[in-house]
Amino acid sequence: MVLQNRAKATRGAIIIGAAAVFEEHGYGSASLTQVSEAAGVTKGALYFHFQSKEDLARAVIEDQHRIVLAESESILNEDRPGLTAMIILCRAFGLQLLHEPVVRAGIRLTFEATAFGPPVRGPYEDWIAVMEQLTERAKTELQIRLSVDAAAFARYIVASFTGVQMVSGVLTGRADVMQRIEEMWGILLPGIMHENFHEDPRALSRLISAAIPSPAQSPTVPAP
């Protein structure tokens, strides 16, 4: 058991070290020597867990996806109204980009995946599927207009968020990413909100940067 725990800790340290290297240098310029130095492990220990740089990159992407999924499941289990849950999911992802090096590295590697294999589709497909389900829920709750195509809107939200955080990364190193995500929702909400849902769009978009209310305090859903 002690050896098992030690191996698990070593593997975790390697992934964290690899995330730091991949985030800074990208897949093409990163070396396993840099990773072993960043992780504080020997090359032998690194090769015991990962046979190649490609294996290591895929492990970082998998860990990034695991972190995002865990946070998403936690938010979805709070049973909030659909539209509120969508906004809070974007908030959580934005905070992960600020505070989780593995998430930042995983996102970069998904864009560089063609350098070591086929494009990485899974994380985006999963996120789109969740957003589509929440859009359908928000339509039944009369928060989102019934005319909104749930699948199209889900793809648009994921694409918009991806573009917003990328531009924020280029211009400010993501220092303003939460503000930019809030602006994104501030622009989108007036065009999609149901006519019988009278919540202030600005108040909803401020969920990105404000303290998150408990599910019981979330914006109310009008009766059908």
What single letter denotes the amino acid at residue 38?
Answer: A
Contact 109, 30 (CB under 8 A): no
Residue with tokens 């698990």: 8
How remote is the C-alpha of 79 from its chain's centroid? 20
Q: What is the pLDDT of residues 158-196, one digit of tens each?
A: 999 999 999 999 999 999 999 999 999 999 999 999 999
Structural domains of the chain ordered from first start: 57-214 (1.10.357.10)
Alpha-carbon distance 40 to 46, whole Å? 10
In the structure, what pLDDT confidence band is assigned to residue 223 with cuts at 50, 70 and 90? very low
Those residues whose C-beta lies under 8 Å from the C-beta of residue 72, and which sit 6 or more positions away, are 89, 92, 127, 130
Q: Which residue has the higher pLDDT, 103 or 79?
A: 103
97's tokens: 């980009």
Does pTM surpass 0.95?
Answer: no
